[in-house]
Amino acid sequence: MSGTGQHDWDPGTYSRFRGHRLRPALDLLSRVGDLPPGDVVDLGCGSGAAAEALRAGAARDRQLIGVDLSPAMMREAEALGLYDRLTDCDIAEWRPQAAPALIFSNAALHWVAGHDALLTRLAQALTPGGTLAVQVPHQNNAPSHRLWRTLADELCGGCLKGLHLPEVLLPAQYFHLLETLGEVNLWETEYFQMLPPSEQGHPVRRYTEATYARPILDALPQTERDRLIRAYDDLIDRAYPLSANGGALFPIRRLFFTLQRGGR
Residue 261 dihedral angles phi and psi, to the nearest 5°: -65, 140
Residue 23 inside a domain? The answer is yes
* Percent of the chain predicted with pLDDT > 90: 84
Residue 16 inside a domain? The answer is yes
Query: From CA 129, how far away is CA 262, in angstroms rounded?
Result: 5
Enclosing domain of residue 194: 11-261
Residue 3 inside a domain? The answer is no
User: Does the pLDDT at position 6 exceed 60?
Assistant: no
Residue 4 inside a domain? The answer is no
CATH number at residue 159: 3.40.50.150
Q: How many CA atoms lie within 13 A of 203 on its CB side?
A: 21
Query: From CA 122, how far away is CA 128, in angstroms rounded?
Result: 12
User: Does the pLDDT at position 264 exceed 90?
Assistant: no
Backbone torsion region of residue 162, taken as left when φ is above 0, otherwise alpha when ψ lies between -120 and 50, otherwise beta = left
Q: By CB neighbour count within 10 A (0-12 exposed, 13-18 middle, 19+ buried), where does 253 fall?
A: middle
Residue 66 inside a domain? The answer is yes
* Percent of the chain predicted with pLDDT > 70: 92
Query: From CA 197, how far away is CA 175, in angstroms rounded?
Result: 39
Query: From CA 137, how far away is CA 168, in angstroms rounded?
Result: 8
Q: What is the per-residue pLDDT for 156?
A: 86
Residue 18 inside a domain? The answer is yes
Q: Which residue spans within 144-219 are E strands per DSSP?
A: 182-195
Q: What angle do CA 104, 251, 141 make, to 5 degrees?
A: 80
The β-bridge relationship of strands 102-106 and 182-195 is unpaired
Residue 138 inside a domain? The answer is yes
Q: Write the single-letter amino acid at 158.
A: G
Q: What are the pLDDT digits (tens) for 13-67? A: 434 435 567 899 999 999 999 999 999 999 999 999 999 999 999 999 999 999 9
Q: What are the pLDDT digits (tens) for 179-212? A: 999 999 999 999 999 999 999 999 999 999 988 9
Q: Count of domains in the chain? A: 1
Residue 2 inside a domain? The answer is no
